[in-house]
A and B are shown apart, each in its own frame.
Chain A
Amino acid sequence: MKARVHVMLKNGVLDPQGEAVRHALGALGFDGVNGVRQGKVIELDLAEGTTEADVTAMCEKLLANTVIESYAVELT
């Protein structure tokens, strides 16, 4: 089984990289991009029987820093 973890900076935390990407898109002529937030996707290849609670624990302990980041777990 696999899990995909999406980690994003929380709303209200400045994302200067996303801002730089937004500026670059504007410079390329893509109008109407009001905002860009950049995050990361972590794919986990897991032994059968691993639970969503296990993946949540991984997020809390290591994969996300919940001071600044939020996460979402998708099991596939």
Chain B
Amino acid sequence: MRAAVVVFPGSNCDRDLAVAFRAAGAEVEMVWHKDSALPEGIDMVGIPGGFSYGDYLRCGAIAAQSPICGAVRAHAERGGYVLGVCNGFQVLTETGLLPGALLRNAGLKYICKTVGLKVETSQSDFTSAYNAGDVIDIPIAHHDGNYFADADTIARLQDEDRVAFTYTDNPNGAQADIAGILSPNRRVLGMMPHPERAADAGHGGTDGVALFRALAGALATA
């Protein structure tokens, strides 16, 4: 797997994401927000957590208009893989690659803790190493993680088995407890929790490792 990790001004989980990809066997290149093209031969783009452009206007809104995001959109439209974590999920909804939006947490507080996530589907190259129904422990760290979409969109996500993860104990008011969703072709995943922060014994948990290993396995020959 060849992965590119996007770096925006204000990204702060970019290196963590790169470490997790590399630990799973990926070659990783970092790409800057002003780049207008991805390196040749990239299978996977990681959009990391953080506070791109200081969260000005709306979380992810300005990042979604950056030159690199044009290339990421084209990559996704060609069937390329994209993983957006936390602020990366916000960026993906702002680009329109994933439906819905992330609102301020219902309790208004920034929440930083490890939460239980239920794996809702194993039918994706991100979640194939889990079993549907598994509960994994993954950290969250966000102020705007309250997933919102209209009722039709939520129903469509559920009917099409595109909800990847739900919270076992909803921390932020997200509709239908949604923590992560997939694109129609199941190759774009956006999630608020941070699997790259549960990817090494030193993190205190390794439940995120299976996600990166599954991807590396699926993309080994791509």
A67–B100 touching, CB < 8 Å: yes
- Known contacts A67-B100, A67-B101, A68-B103, A16 near B108 by CB under 8 Å: yes
A14–B103 touching, CB < 8 Å: yes
Contact with A along B136-147 (1 / 0, CB 8 A): 000000000010
Q: How large is the interface on A (under 10, 10 to 19, 20 to 34, 35 or more residues)?
A: 10 to 19
A13–B65 touching, CB < 8 Å: no
- Known contacts A16-B108, A20-B108, A63 near B173 by CB under 8 Å: no
CB distance from A26 to the nearest CB of B (A): 16
> From residue 61 to 75 of chain A, which have CB atoms closer than 8 A to chain B?
61-63, 65, 67-68
User: Is A17 located at the chain interface by the 8 A CB criterion?
Assistant: yes
A13, A14, A65 interface centre (most CB from chain B within 10 Å): A65
* Number of residues on chain B facing chain A (CB within 8 A): 20
| Residue ID in chain B nearest A67 by CB atoms | B101
CB distance from A15 to the nearest CB of B (A): 8
Contact with B along A1-41 (1 / 0, CB 8 A): 00000000000011011001000000000000000000000
Partner of B108, one of A17, A61, A65, A68: A17
B104, B105, B146 interface centre (most CB from chain A within 10 Å): B104
A16–B57 touching, CB < 8 Å: no
- Known contacts A20-B108, A63-B57, A68-B148, A14 near B173 by CB under 8 Å: yes
CA–CA, A67 to B106, complex, Å?
18
- Known contacts A63-B57, A65-B101, A67-B93, A13 near B148 by CB under 8 Å: yes
Question: Helix, strand, loop or mixed for chain A's interface?
Answer: helix
| Residue ID in chain A nearest B108 by CB atoms | A16
| Residue ID in chain A nearest B149 by CB atoms | A67
User: Is B19 located at the chain interface by the 8 A CB criterion?
Assistant: no
User: Is B219 located at the chain interface by the 8 A CB criterion?
Assistant: no
CB distance from B83 to the nearest CB of A (A): 21
Partner of B61, one of A13, A16, A20, A65: A65
> From residue 152 to 187 of chain B, which have CB atoms closer than 8 A to chain A?
173
Chain B residues in contact with chain A, CB under 8 A? 57-58, 61-62, 65, 93-94, 99-101, 103-108, 146, 148-149, 173
13 more A-B residue pairs beyond the given contacts A13-B103, A67-B99, A68-B103, with a C-beta to C-beta distance below 8 A: A16-B104, A16-B107, A16-B173, A17-B104, A20-B108, A61-B65, A62-B61, A65-B58, A65-B61, A67-B100, A67-B148, A67-B149, A68-B148
